[in-house]
Amino acid sequence: MTERPYGIMAEFDTPDALMEAVRATRRAGFTRIDAFSPFPLPDLAEELGIRTSIIPWIAFVAALIGAGLQYGSQYWMNAVDYPLNVGGRPLNSWPTFIPSTLIVAILWAGAATLLGLLVILRLPRLHHPVFSAHGFERVTNDRFFLCVLGEDPLFDNGATRDFLEGLSPLAVREVPA
């Protein structure tokens, strides 16, 4: 018996055709599928049940940490560790500590969100099995792909291929593992 492939990929030329195909594939009971497109398809993401609500949480928590650290360090440095009396102003001059507290909160939120994004997407990953599918390079231009992964419980090399052929794609190709 040969090794299971990474998956089987069907190629479409419109986002609507891809949407139809995804719906049909899910109706057929496949759960481990992936779709690829040259631009964001929010409706399809919803159809696939992708929830991105962790992103604002990353930003929020990072902002709190950044703000706390910045205010805390300003307070500790200028009021506790090395009390600095400037013209008799209070040691904890909170109004003057606010601007950089807000700025650093944004720094933490922005950097954590964008770097966290790369972690979530597991990038950089320069090589990926899907790249070996013939014609896949057009995914960044004008083609839409649906891939049923080999790890799907219903996956069967011949039957899955026949099923995808039935969705009237431009082409169906096997993606080697």
Partner 1 sequence: MTSEAQAVTRTVAEVPLTRRFGVVWWGALLASGALVLLLGYTLVSVTLVGVGVWGINVPFVWGFDLINYAWWIGIANGASLFAAILVLRRHDLRTAVNRFAEGVAFFAVICAGIFPIIHLGRPWLFYWVFPYPATFQVWPQFRSTLTWDFWAISTHAIVTSLLWYVGLIPDLATLRDRARSRAVKRIYGVFALGWRGSVRDWAYHQRAYRLVAILVLPLILIMQSTVAFEFAVTLVPDWHETRQPLHFVATGLAQGLSIVLLVAVLLRWGLRLGPYIDEGDIDLLGKLVLASALVSGYLYLDEIVSALLADRIAQEATFNRLTGDYAGLYWTAIVYSILIPQLLWFEVARRSTLACVFVGFSIGVGIWFDRFSIIVGGLQTDYLPSIWRTYSPTLAETGLFLGTVGLFAALLLLFVRFLPVVSMFETRHDEHEEKSS
Considering the complex, what minimum distance in angstroms separates the CB of residue 154 from partner 1?
A: 20
Question: Binding partner 1 by CB under 8 A: which of 24, 65, 102, 171?
Answer: 102
Footprint of partner 1 on 44-73 (CB under 8 A)? 44-45, 48, 50, 52, 55-56, 59, 70, 73
What CA–CA distances, in Å, run from 4 to 8, 130, 150, 156, 175? 10, 14, 6, 9, 10
Q: Is residue 157 within the footprint of partner 1 (CB under 8 A)? A: no
CB 8 within 8 Å of CB 174: yes
State the minimum distance, in angstroms, from the CB of residue 156 to partner 1. 23
Q: Is 97 in the site for partner 1 (CB under 8 A)?
A: yes
Among 7, 28, 2, smallest CA distance to 150 is for 7
What would the two tokens of residue 24 be?
A: 């049909």
Which residue in 114, 134, 157, 162 binds partner 1 (CB under 8 A)? 114
CB closer to partner 1, 27 vs 127 = 127
β-pair type (144-149, 7-12): antiparallel
Query: How many angstroms separate the CA atoms of 55 and 62, rounded?
Result: 11
Position 162 contacts partner 1 (CB under 8 A): no
Answer for which of 17, 109, 148, 167 binds partner 1 (CB under 8 A) is 109
Nearer to partner 1, 134 or 156 (CB): 134
Task: Using CB under 8 A, list all residues that contact partner 1.
Answer: 13, 15-16, 34-42, 44-45, 48, 50, 52, 55-56, 59, 70, 73-74, 77-78, 81-82, 84, 86, 89, 93, 96-97, 99-100, 102-104, 106-107, 109-111, 113-118, 120-121, 123-128, 130-131, 136-142
